[in-house]
Structure 1
């Protein structure tokens, strides 16, 4: 077991400069033929183009990165590819920088007109980017500038016009006591290592661009979303251009956490769980959703015998650039067990802000979504829905059907109270071993409410997800088009 884990993690998840030629040809072909936006709440094509025109400059924070930009723009940059299992709705702006010890970076911006907004720092450790403890600020944690208001506080005016803020990143070690930290300040440390800094923006309001900083239907914009300047340890001030030149480091699309050959080495390993076969692994006949417990446990461990997997120490820090306040769930599938997978659960409540509601409300989560994705060496996303797009029954339960378009039951429609998502073309690899029947689901519970009884954040041990989450745990089964059309969903 140890040998193959070593092989798996010798490939570094390090967002470095990657040329367009290095992109997997399968991904490029898929992007070129991507479907247009077809769900209420998705980013319209015009807003995608306008967001790219406004913010895709050669600055410190490169973007917009996201599914819509990579799939819908005619000629996206490599760094706009949000591979490594993204979500369909967010807009990301990421940058890499190396700050001299004792220096500082000041960021000024406007709270976006969006449901969720966050700034994070990550460092490259243990062959992956790991969230720096305490180095993140969500929108509701950011204090506004004098004369401005924070639209993310519960009960706040979401549409307040004066919405400016200022953040500081210090190349210092954080104070031992958290109460000694100045407001809106996070610490990158004095080790001068490259850090990855990023903004996440989820569900910009209707009528706004993907970033939520400007209108989607007119060229007007009251300045850029984010500006920055630096100060060297000796007090010398750096302009935004100087910050980029002196501290910025190149970015491209994220290399996968393991290569194609490493992936198939896992699939064909002789010591895999005997219940698996190379044709379907790590998918099982009775697939179960489970929380993401780190790459070792959730990816490599999925191939192992249960007793071997139980010996893996689960990750205690968010790996791979994920949001540490998000609970992720995965489920491996194969069409060889059935052409349709159906799952059902109660949907957590959420602040439905898309239509431009005036007051910020609280939900059991800030955002929920489920997507179909490719295998780890690809990391591409095929299709997905998020909370407001999912029809519910009178008790608050959703039913979602996953299939290829030709297998979609005629009653798997929103009008019939059922959401549908495209299974996708399989592992997503331009390799003769690519298994077109394979599939994977990725579910997000963002910022679960601390007082929520069934929160996935309360799961502390693998295998206890269903018991802790109760009605919110997604339970599913394989079926066929004819069976579903005749019987509808099982309950």
Structure 2
């Protein structure tokens, strides 16, 4: 138990992601390499130069049902960014600003974004009709009390990730990466401005082939203190961000905790400030250790969620907006292996899930969705595995969500039937229906 509670400190960063994005006319599902000017062309920043998911910038425990786009900025006094877009046809979307070291500053969740005049917000109980769903979000250096509901604050503090000696914990990156960081920033202030990153997240788009949810990416405009407006063209191919990877490698927690003797879930504790966290997500997690021929089995009751891909509207009687179970490598930069989203998880007649986590070679023949079982790939056997259950935006009236746990607290102490409970057994035992494979 002590080993598990100590390991929870590592897991405090779960669910972040790295920067990534494009403009409203760009297909964000295109290739992984950011499209840069050819030799001889003058280089200017483009909007949303970075994308993150399970294949591009796979860092900081991303969810495979989500895509993350990012834009760095350095704003002078009175300067601001305007993001003009449309609400996606998806389960969830948000904008979050971060300090240069990856700590969250401000969040604007889909349901809280005010639509433009004549438009509606489908996440705010207004339904998804055929009318316009436009919005405008503003990023300001300082979010004051009289700011509008669509204002996001930046921050004036943080460690510059573009260089400096590795003294007092500062991050050192090579000159090429530092030059790209400076080039990708939007704003006129250079090193002297309010610096940070904004991440735009979209979860579970209704059309899985369009990860922007049919809305494209928000158009970005830099507005000067005197009102001068400069449109920033969208990047043709949002892609890798070596600076974000270096930041996570440098500031992320150690990965030296021992796995517990059985899969026991806790709410993570510790500093999550430097792994691009999402304040709308709460987690419980455990660490798994691979042994040949052994599998992990996890059971629990599934909370209600709006199956938007099947036509449900958000804001109904759901207990959470979204939930998922993911396997992740327990090493920096914390890549995800596989996730099973709520709408892809098999449930029994009583609404309970059963997950089997193993290598493909050790997968039981009976671990199929037809048998009410969801199989997850353990991933690399060279390192331990972080098994993570997400609860997003739990309802205030849902007393058994991960949000109700204190950091470091066991899931079973508060979550009741909704707590994931795990056990180890062999492949043969599972196929034989052995009681050892049914977590108590």
TM-score range, shorter-chain basis?
0.7 to 0.9
Which of 363, 367, 380 in structure 2 is aligned with 1:425?
Answer: 380
Check whether the contact 2:17–2:52 (CA below 8 A) recurs between aligned residues: no
Q: Aligned-pair distance for 1:258?
A: 4.7
Structure number with higher helix proportion: 1
Secondary structure, counterpart of 2:429 in structure 1: helix
1:83, distance to aligned residue in structure 2 (A)? 1.3
Superposition pairs for residues 300-319 of structure 1, below 5 Å? 318-319=273-274
CA distance in structure 2 between the partners assigned to 1:386 and 1:355 by the alignment: 14
- Alignment partner of 1:238 out of 212, 223, 230: 230
Distance in 2, matches of 1:83 and 1:396, equals 32
Aligned length: 369
Pairs within 5 Å for 1:102-121: 102-121=78-97
Could you list the runs of 5+ residues in structure 2 that have no partner in the other structure? 1-9, 11-15, 21-25, 36-44, 158-192, 236-240
* Offset at residue 386 of structure 1 (A): 0.7
- Residue in structure 2 matching 1:463, options 394, 405, 409: 409
| Aligned ranges 1:117-266 → 2 under 5 Å | 117-124=93-100, 128-132=101-105, 135-154=106-125, 156-175=126-145, 180-189=146-155, 192-206=193-207, 209-213=210-214, 224-241=216-233, 252-255=243-246, 257-258=248-249
8 Å CA contact retained: 2:300, 2:419: yes
Taking structure 1 as reference, are residues 226 and 16 closer, same or farther at Cα in structure 2, changes over 3 Å only? Answer: closer
Q: CA RMSD in A?
A: 3.2
Matches within 5 A, 1:38-117: 51-52=29-30, 59-67=46-54, 70=55, 80-117=56-93
> Could you state the TM-score of these two structures normalised by the residue count of structure 1?
0.68
Maintained 8 Å contact 2:19/2:197: no
Other structure's SS at 1:479 match? strand
Kept after mapping to 2: 8 A contact 1:55/1:63: no
CA spacing shift, 1:359–1:456, aligned 2, 3 Å:
closer
What is the distance in 1 between the residues matched to 2:357 and 2:19?
34
- After TM superposition, the score normalised by the length of structure 2 is 0.76
> Do the aligned partners of residues 354 and 458 (structure 1) sit closer, same or farther apart at CA in structure 2, a change above 3 Å counting?
same
Against the structure 1 CA distance between its residues 207 and 139, is the aligned structure 2 distance closer, same or farther, given a 3 Å change threshold?
Answer: same
Unpaired segments of 5 or more residues in structure 1?
Answer: 1-7, 18-47, 71-79, 215-223, 245-249, 268-280, 296-314, 427-434
Tell which has more relative contact order, 1 or 2 (C-alpha 8 A, sep 6+).
2
1:473 is aligned, of 415, 419, 426, to: 419
Deviation per residue, 1:395-441 (Å, 9 max, x gap): 21101000111111111100000110111113xxxxxxxx35x3221
